[in-house]
Amino acid sequence: MPKRLSIAIDGPAGSGKSTVAKLVADRLGLTCVDSGAMYRGVAWRALQAGLSPESQPQAIGELAERLHMEFRRGEDNVARLFIDDEDASQAIRTPEVGKMSSVVSAIPEVRRHLSRRQREWGLNGGVVMEGRDIQTVVLPEADVKVFLTASDNERARRRLKDLEAQGVTTTLDEVLRDIQARDRRDSTRAVAPLSKAPDAIEICTDGMTIEDVVSTIVDLARTVEPE
């Protein structure tokens, strides 16, 4: 079977990559893999188990290896993350899990187990995979590599809107501080820090509509043949 297209999209928190990746995947008939959801899944389970990333990194690494994770499409065609057969899609979206996911994602063993699985899913193509290290580490050979950015204020505004829609009460200032702390952790960790691959195309989404961003990536994808 000929290899199918693979698209890697990375970017900081609130850059819009999840929304954009889903729409690009729908438009091109590809499967969307949200790699951040997997880090959130490990964080959620680590919190439930009362594990500390500072004193028990090894136990969290073992948890990452053990957890069974699967994306299943619901009737609404939205992919949901199942962890050990339990739908975790909502539980992993809280600010507490978001913060913890950034901390556990700096544990090398956690990264090793999750990126191995992501790579296995992506190797045959047919995917839009989004995260922090997809174009640099997980799928460096992807046919299309995109690095999405936006200003801190714009990202905080978007994140606040998402959180309010989920019924979470917070302020723009608090969200901005959270985003900046997360950026610092994600970009300065020793293993696979967030960075743009030299051959990735950077798109700053300030002032662009979602449709603008999606069609830019779809147009890029249509100009390349899978290798």
Provide the binding-site residues for ligand DC, judged by CB under 6 A.
13, 35-36, 39-40, 98, 101-102, 105, 131-134, 182, 186
Q: Which lies closer to ligand DC via its Cβ, residue 29 or residue 57?
A: 57
Q: At its nearest, how many Å lie between ligand DC and the CB of residue 2? A: 27
Q: Which lies closer to ligand DC via its Cβ, residue 30 or residue 64?
A: 64
Where is 72: in which H helix or E strand? strand 69-73
Q: At its nearest, how many Å lie between ligand DC and the CB of residue 31? A: 16
Neighbours of 183 (CB within 10 A): 17
Q: At its nearest, how many Å lie between ligand DC and the CB of residue 35? A: 4
Whole-number Å distance between alpha carbons of 161 and 143: 32
Q: Which lies closer to ligand DC via its Cβ, residue 40 or residue 217?
A: 40
The answer to whether the Cα torsion of 126, 131, 137, 140 is positive or negative is positive
Q: At its nearest, how many Å lie between ligand DC and the CB of residue 140? A: 13
Q: At its nearest, how many Å lie between ligand DC and the CB of residue 203? A: 17
The dihedral formed by the CA atoms of 217, 202, 160 and 118, expressed in degrees to the nearest 10: 70
Q: Which lies closer to ligand DC via its Cβ, residue 143 or residue 186?
A: 186
Q: Which lies closer to ligand DC via its Cβ, residue 5 or residue 189?
A: 189
Residue 156: DSSP 8-state:
H
User: Which residues have a Cβ under 8 Å from the Cβ of 144 and sit 6 or more positions away?
Assistant: 5, 6, 7, 8, 201, 217, 220, 221, 224
What does residue 199 show for φ and ψ, rounded to 5 degrees?
Answer: -100, 10
Where is 31: in which H helix or E strand? strand 31-34
Q: At its nearest, how many Å lie between ligand DC and the CB of residue 217? A: 17
Whole-number Å distance between alpha carbons of 27 and 145: 17
Q: Which lies closer to ligand DC via its Cβ, residue 148 or residue 221?
A: 148
Q: At its nearest, how many Å lie between ligand DC and the CB of residue 182? A: 5
Token couple for 137? 């580490």
Q: Which lies closer to ligand DC via its Cβ, residue 170 or residue 222?
A: 170
Give the 3-state secondary structure percentages of the chain, helix then strand then coil, rounded to 5.
Answer: 50, 15, 35
